[in-house]
């Protein structure tokens, strides 16, 4: 098959040198390692279709890959070398970008930051961002239904994708790029492909919604007594303004770690608070006095006893300093010792109770560990991290770590939540999904997969339990 692809698409479309392949055979965190004889790099949708048809003919599975920044090893090939890598990075054209219709059509290999920049040039913004923005690609963002820090206001990729172009497992091209606002011609293949992790087809391009560029932003930090109080602040703000687009919860414990390990950070507030909320508000309207509005709202929240104390960044440097605390929590935790991360969600209203209850359960079951939740409270999505405390052995992850993860996943499931909020299932969470999803759901996932990919050539071993 490799020779046939090269014969049809030329040498640019095939890499076989082990040195070229190496960076793409392991997942981003270096935890999962695969093998493959070649990386195929088509330059157009027609070439992707050609490769998919050949894959069906030769019965060779394909593992699609964008920036290879996934957190669940969904783009890492199987260890037995049975699959070929399919990189979409050569498909990196922004086909259209229009401020009137507020839509961009970007190919799968476009890097998120490039899209941000190009949208900015016409006074618009693509309102989704995340840490890997300098290397993650549109195809991967669509295929993992990526989230990030602006979901509160704009939703995940599912809400930002107006249409998908993809090559289906039979080699046919699904063209949903016209991005119709009203279209009821049967099941939404667009929505089915979003978050399918390449198991139902290869996303080659997407029509994406844009919003007007940010004219001003205001960042604030509030001290609160508990997650319950943080949620009360969120509801207070939401009822009075549509401008809040980030609402991050930070426990004092996380703040302490950041202050200890990250140079140049300092406490945002003078007083002591058990919990903190980082709030970002933005406006696209130059006439809107956002800073004044946020100031009035926070003053009212203090007056009404919803929060005890707060500070509003007076300038961009202060705003950056507040965000730096939030963004370096994981880094500080790593400096402190072993940390087990869980990307989970529960219904927003249940989140405050869940954080306290789950932390207590984990710490009681595994004495010496320290559990805490931080992150996107407004989305019901926190990063629930468990630190090993005095334990330092490298096999902690595989030994006690797995048991702790099962406990956390049990608690999340009991709370009606999701064991994968924004990172997907990939290879790493497949077992847990198999263990915890209702049998009817597992049967449905398998039936859809089998129905659309009867030959099993689309990213096998991922997502579907």
User: Which residues between 442 and 461 bind a second copy (CB under 8 A)?
Assistant: 443-445, 447-448, 450-452, 454
**Interacting residues with a second copy between 225 and 264 (CB under 8 A):** 235, 239
Of 360 and 447, CB closest to a second copy: 447
In whole angstroms, how close is the CB of 178 to a second copy at the nearest point? 4
Of 345 and 369, CB closest to a second copy: 345
User: Residue from 15, 104, 423, 461 that binds a second copy (CB under 8 A)?
Assistant: 423
Q: How many Cβ atoms from other residues are within 10 Å of residue 304's Cβ?
A: 10
In whole angstroms, how close is the CB of 448 to a second copy at the nearest point? 6
**Interacting residues with a second copy between 374 and 413 (CB under 8 A):** 376, 379-381
Which helix (H) or strand (E) element contains residue 372? strand 370-376
Of 273 and 449, CB closest to a second copy: 449
In whole angstroms, how close is the CB of 456 to a second copy at the nearest point? 14
Of 63 and 464, CB closest to a second copy: 464
User: Residue from 40, 110, 433, 458 that binds a second copy (CB under 8 A)?
Assistant: 433
Q: Site size for a second copy, by CB under 8 A? A: 74
Q: Which residues are 342's β-sheet partners?
A: 384
Residue 228 near residue 457 (C-beta atoms within 8 A): no
Cα torsion angle, 117, 120, 125, 130, sign: positive
User: Residue from 44, 129, 265, 418 that binds a second copy (CB under 8 A)?
Assistant: 418
Phi and psi angles of residue 47, each rounded to the nearest 5 degrees, phi first: -70, -35
Of 400 and 422, CB closest to a second copy: 422
CA dihedral (108, 111, 115, 118) in degrees, to 10, reads -120
Of 57 and 256, CB closest to a second copy: 57
120 interacts with a second copy by CB under 8 A: no
In whole angstroms, how close is the CB of 101 to a second copy at the nearest point? 6
Stretch that binds a second copy, among 15-23, 170-178, 299-307, 357-365 (CB under 8 A): 170-178
Tokens describing residue 403 = 């048991």
Residue 367 near residue 389 (C-beta atoms within 8 A): no
**Interacting residues with a second copy between 337 and 376 (CB under 8 A):** 345-349, 376
Stretch that binds a second copy, among 11-19, 36-44, 104-112, 185-193 (CB under 8 A): 185-193
**Interacting residues with a second copy between 203 and 222 (CB under 8 A):** 212
440 interacts with a second copy by CB under 8 A: yes
In whole angstroms, how close is the CB of 217 to a second copy at the nearest point? 18
Q: Could you give the CA distance from residue 377 to residue 409 in angstroms, rounded to a whole number?
A: 18
Stretch that binds a second copy, among 25-33, 113-121, 326-334, 432-440 (CB under 8 A): 432-440
Residues in CB range of 397: below 8 A, 6 or more apart:
338, 340
In whole angstroms, how close is the CB of 372 to a second copy at the nearest point? 19
**Interacting residues with a second copy between 21 and 80 (CB under 8 A):** none
Three-class SS state of 70: coil
**Interacting residues with a second copy between 288 and 347 (CB under 8 A):** 345-347
Which helix (H) or strand (E) element contains residue 123? none
Q: Which residues are 106's β-sheet partners?
A: 94, 206
**Interacting residues with a second copy between 76 and 115 (CB under 8 A):** 100-101
User: Residue from 11, 23, 30, 186 that binds a second copy (CB under 8 A)?
Assistant: 186
User: Residue from 63, 422, 428, 457 that binds a second copy (CB under 8 A)?
Assistant: 422
């Amino acid at each position: 098959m490799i020779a046939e692809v090269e014969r049809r698409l030329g040498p640019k479309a095939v890499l076989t040198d082990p040195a070229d392949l190496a960076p793409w055979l392991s997942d981003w965190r270096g935890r999962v390692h695969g093998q493959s004889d070649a990386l195929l790099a088509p330059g157009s949708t027609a070439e992707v279709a050609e490769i998919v048809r050949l894959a069906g003919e030769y019965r060779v599975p394909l593992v699609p890959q964008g920036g290879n920044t996934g957190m669940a090893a969904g783009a890492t090939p199987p260890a037995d070398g049975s699959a070929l890598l399919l990189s979409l990075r050569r498909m990196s054209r922004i086909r259209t970008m229009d401020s009137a219709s507020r839509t961009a059509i970007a190919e799968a290999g476009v890097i998120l930051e490039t899209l941000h920049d190009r949208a900015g040039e016409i006074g618009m913004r693509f309102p989704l961002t995340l840490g890997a923005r300098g290397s993650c690609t549109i195809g991967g963002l669509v295929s993992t239904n990526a989230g990030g820090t602006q979901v509160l206001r704009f939703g995940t990729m599912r809400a930002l994708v107006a249409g998908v172009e993809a090559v289906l497992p039979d080699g046919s091209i699904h063209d949903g790029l016209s991005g119709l606002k009203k279209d009821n011609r049967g099941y939404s293949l667009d929505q089915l492909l979003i978050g399918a992790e390449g198991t139902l087809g290869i996303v080659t391009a997407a029509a994406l919604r844009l919003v007007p560029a940010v004219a001003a932003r205001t960042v604030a930090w509030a001290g609160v007594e508990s997650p319950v109080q943080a949620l009360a602040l969120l509801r207070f703000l939401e009822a009075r303004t549509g401008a809040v687009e980030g609402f991050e919860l930070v426990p004092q414990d996380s703040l302490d770690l950041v202050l200890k390990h990250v140079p140049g950070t300092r406490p945002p507030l003078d007083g002591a608070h058990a919990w903190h909320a980082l709030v970002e508000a933005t406006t696209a309207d130059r006439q809107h006095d956002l800073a004044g509005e946020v100031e009035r709202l926070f003053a009212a929240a203090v007056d009404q006893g919803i929060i005890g104390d707060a500070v509003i960044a007076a300038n961009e440097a202060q705003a950056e300093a507040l965000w730096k605390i939030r963004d370096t929590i994981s880094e500080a935790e790593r400096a402190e010792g072993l940390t087990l991360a869980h990307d989970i969600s529960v219904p927003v209203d249940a989140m405050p109770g869940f954080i306290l209850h789950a932390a207590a359960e984990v710490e009681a079951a595994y004495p010496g560990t320290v559990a805490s939740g931080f992150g996107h409270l407004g989305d019901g999505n926190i990063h629930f991290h468990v630190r090993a405390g005095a334990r330092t052995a490298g096999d902690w992850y595989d030994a006690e770590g797995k048991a702790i993860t099962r406990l956390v996943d049990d608690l999340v499931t009991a709370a009606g939540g999701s064991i994968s909020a924004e990172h997907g299932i990939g290879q790493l969470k497949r077992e847990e999904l198999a263990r915890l999803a209702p049998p009817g759901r597992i049967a449905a996932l398998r039936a859809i997969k089998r129905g659309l990919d009867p030959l099993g050539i689309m990213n096998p071993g991922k997502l579907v339990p």
